[in-house]
Amino acid sequence: MTTNLPMVLSVTSGKGGVGKTNISVNLAYNLSRMGKKVVLLDADLGLANVDVLLGIAPKLNLFHLFHEGSKLQDVIFKTSYGFDILPASSGVGDMVSLSTGQKLDLLEAMDYLEDEVDYLIVDTGAGINDNVLYFNLAVQERLLVLTPEPTSLTDAYALIKVMKLNHGVDRFRVMINMAPDMKSAKEVFSKLYKACDHFLSGVSLDLVGVIPRDQEMRKAVIKQTPVCSMSPGCPACRTLEETAKKITNWKPTSELDGNIKFFWKKLLFQEQSVA
Question: In the set 13, 21, 124, 177, which binds Mg ion (CB under 5 A)?
Answer: 21
Answer whether 176's CB lies under 8 Å from 188's CB.
Answer: yes
- 66/189 with CB nearer ligand ATP: 189
Q: With binding defined as CB under 5 A, does residue 164 bind Mg ion?
A: no
Q: With binding defined as CB under 5 A, does residue 136 bind Mg ion?
A: no
**Strand order, beta sheet including 84-87:** 77-78, 84-87, 38-43, 119-124, 7-12, 141-146, 171-179, 204-212
Stretches 44-52, 130-138, 168-176, 248-256: which one binds Mg ion (CB under 5 A)? 44-52
Answer whether 228's CB lies under 8 Å from 237's CB.
Answer: yes
CB of 102 to Mg ion, least distance (A): 28
Phi-psi region of 123 (alpha: psi -120 to 50; beta: other; left: phi over 0): beta
CB of 218 to ligand ATP, least distance (A): 4
Q: Which residues bind ligand ATP (CB under 6 A)?
A: 13, 16-22, 44, 49, 126, 177-178, 211, 213-214, 217-218, 221, 236
Q: With binding defined as CB under 5 A, does residue 140 bind Mg ion?
A: no
* Residue 7, amino acid: M
- 20/173 with CB nearer ligand ATP: 20
CB of 66 to ligand ATP, least distance (A): 23
- 45/162 with CB nearer ligand ATP: 45
Tell me the angle at which helices 150-167 and 130-138 cross, rounded to the nearest 10 degrees: 60
For 39, 43, 57, 67, 108, the CA distances from 103, given in Å and listed in that order, are 20, 18, 26, 11, 9
Q: With binding defined as CB under 5 A, does residue 15 bind Mg ion?
A: no
Q: With binding defined as CB under 5 A, does residue 20 bind Mg ion?
A: yes
- Phi and psi of 180, rounded to 5°? -70, -30
Q: Which residues bind Mg ion (CB under 5 A)?
A: 20-21, 44, 49
